[in-house]
């Protein structure tokens, strides 16, 4: 009977943690049916072993010992999930633009010529003004936002073959904390990659404001391959992609995508160096 109570307590505690983070938008729902079961099972086995080996009163084992074990295992699982870097087979051909990040597509916007790109992160708006200092907006574009949960792989990859022509770091600020609709500036890195034929894409890593966790591992002038790792975002957040309008978008809002593994768009076969059809 005690073992059954321990098992139920461990699964209840594990489920409570995962439900909380899913509700907060920190995890994908699939982890309720995978990692949650793994965590509850491991926690049950360890708690039963502790109860058998150590002379601890049962009222201490549940919920204190089981709660402590579940918490420790959850932290270890989190670090494993967060820092993992699985190998990826890059699909498609040169005109297939792969996702730059793991996560969920939260918006797909159309940008007109010289229109200021605006990213939305947790109801706060930030103008990507550094893009206006480049020629990326001299033609219509798409802006695709990808929200990264705490359990997503946080390595960022190049969507196409090319050369890095622009890297800009924008420090975070504390503007608009009390007004979600205010224009704020998130700490971010902006990277532009240009193909040999002039086709360009932009990647914007967005982290929490005031916390420098966006990392670009490549440098201006470096050649990069499609699907090659070019940076990472510690402790998660969001990545926006700016793609030429002559792309056929192959994903939709709400879809889960994977860096280097999901073809997010396909370039038209008929384009000139300006990116126009």
Q: Give the integer Cα–Cα distance in Å for 61 and 51.
A: 7
What percent of the chain has a predicted confidence (pLDDT) above 90? Answer: 53
Closest CA to 175 of 166, 184, 186: 184
Closest CA to 205 of 182, 251, 236, 249: 236
Q: Give the integer Cα–Cα distance in Å for 34 and 70.
A: 15
Q: What residue ranges do the domains of the chain occupy?
A: 2-83, 96-267
Q: Give the integer Cα–Cα distance in Å for 44 and 30.
A: 21
Going by pLDDT thresholds of 50, 70 and 90, the confidence category of residue 174 is very low
Structure letter (DSSP) for residue 91: P
Q: Give the integer Cα–Cα distance in Å for 98 and 218.
A: 18
Q: Is 87 a catalytic residue?
A: no
- Let me know: does 225 contact 158? Beta carbons within 8 Å: yes
In degrees and rounded to multiples of 5, residue 17 shows phi and psi of -65, -45
pLDDT tens readout for residues 13-70 = 999 998 888 877 666 777 888 889 999 999 999 999 999 999 889 989 998 999 999 9
Going by pLDDT thresholds of 50, 70 and 90, the confidence category of residue 158 is very high
Q: Strand 141-148 to strand 155-157: parallel, antiparallel, or no bridges (unpaired)?
A: unpaired
C-alpha distances in Å from residue 146, one per residue of 120, 123, 136, 158, 184: 10, 14, 20, 14, 19
Going by pLDDT thresholds of 50, 70 and 90, the confidence category of residue 271 is low
| pLDDT score, position 134 | 81
Q: Give the integer Cα–Cα distance in Å for 85 and 90.
A: 14
Residue 273 has pLDDT above 50, yes or no: no
CA dihedral (18, 20, 21, 23) positive or negative: positive
Q: Which candidate in 237, 247, 268, 274 is catalytic?
A: 237
Residue 215 has pLDDT above 50, yes or no: yes
What CATH class does 96-267 carry? mainly beta
């Amino acid at each position: 009977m005690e073992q059954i109570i321990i098992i139920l307590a461990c699964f209840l505690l594990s489920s409570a943690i995962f439900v909380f983070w899913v509700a907060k938008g920190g995890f994908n729902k699939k982890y309720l049916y995978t990692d949650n079961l793994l965590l509850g099972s491991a926690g049950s086995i360890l708690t039963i072993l502790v109860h058998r080996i150590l002379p601890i009163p049962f009222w201490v084992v549940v919920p204190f010992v089981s709660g402590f074990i579940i918490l420790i295992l959850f932290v270890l699982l989190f670090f494993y999930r967060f820092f993992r870097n699985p190998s990826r087979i890059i699909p498609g051909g040169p005109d297939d633009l792969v996702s730059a990040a793991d996560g969920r597509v939260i918006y797909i916007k159309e940008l007109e010529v010289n229109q200021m790109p605006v990213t939305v992160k947790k109801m706060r708006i930030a103008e990507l003004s550094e893009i206006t200092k480049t020629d990326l907006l001299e033609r219509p574009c798409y802006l695709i936002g990808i929200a990264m949960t705490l359990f997503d792989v946080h390595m960022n990859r190049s969507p196409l073959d090319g050369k890095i022509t622009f890297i800009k770091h924008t420090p975070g600020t504390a503007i608009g904390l009390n007004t979600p609709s205010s224009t704020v500036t998130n700490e971010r890195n902006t990277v532009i990659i240009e193909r040999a034929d002039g086709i360009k894409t932009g990647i914007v890593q967005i982290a929490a404001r005031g916390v420098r966790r966006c990392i670009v591992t490549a440098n201006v002038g470096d050649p990069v391959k499609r699907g090659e790792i070019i940076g990472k975002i510690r402790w998660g957040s969001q990545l926006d992609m700016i793609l030429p309008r002559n792309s056929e978008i192959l994903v939709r809002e709400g879809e889960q995508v994977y860096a280097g593994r999901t073809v997010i768009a396909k370039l038209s076969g008929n384009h000139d160096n300006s990116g126009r059809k």
